[in-house]
Structure 1
Amino acid sequence: MWIDLLPIALLGGLLGLDVVSFPQAMISRPLVAATIAGWLIGDSATGLLVGAALELIALDTLPFGASRYPEWGSAAVVGGAIFATHPSHPAGAMEMAMIASLATAWVGSWTMVKLRERNAYWAAQRRAALLGKSSTG
């Protein structure tokens, strides 16, 4: 069971990097990410369905400058994987996948802000140490 989650977890991590680091090739868009997650589970069409719904929501956010926006890539992996694991599509499965995706996107946004705040704090400490001053934190 846990070994089956490894490809999904690695995909989520890779797509998290696509947003902020390398390669920034737009593979972290929900349409692509959820489809790949569904394919890894064994049902790419189901992943595509979740990805299309999430993409419509994600089109409202513009990730440029200092704006805070949801982490759609990893969230789409979560939604695509959850919905693809239910091939019979029971009532509420799509809704649960969307709720899990939106929650993951929000948590991803919050953690990205906290990570950047922590990095700025550490950079200020190192800069002060290099200049021979004490850090005021």
Structure 2
Amino acid sequence: MSAHPQPVPQGDYVPARRHGTLIFTSGMTPRRDGVLLHHGPVRADAPVDDYRDAVRLACGNALAAAHGMLAPGESLAAILSLTVYVAAEPGFAAHSRIADLASAYLREELGDAGIGSRAAVGVASLPGNAPVEIQLVAAT
């Protein structure tokens, strides 16, 4: 697993909450140490790969938040659900390809356990003008 620091909340919430064997993360944007490193919107004329680093950073933050809920010696058994919010310009239609970048990252980190159900959602804007926001539900 890649080493990602715990994400810094940008408001009155926690990065993740655990209930029994389930871990729900807050939506994570491509921030490092609380600083947004990638800005949106996702452009209709840009190659999807232009957003790879933003997606990987946001997804890494969500995964780090989930890992932060584990007890010593515990691990994530599976990602149950992945939601990828894409702040896209009108005319952008490759939301699922942006979400594929997040799925690929989770597969790299967790193997087949990183692939669960998924939604790719287009939105008008995201906090801080982020291009993507990622939320996970994981099981221990």
Normalised to the residue count of structure 1, the TM-score between the two structures is 0.29
Greater RCO structure (CA 8 Å; 6+ sep): 2
Normalised to the residue count of structure 2, the TM-score between the two structures is 0.29
Higher helix share goes to which structure? 1
Structure possessing the higher radius of gyration over alpha carbons: 1
Higher strand share goes to which structure? 2
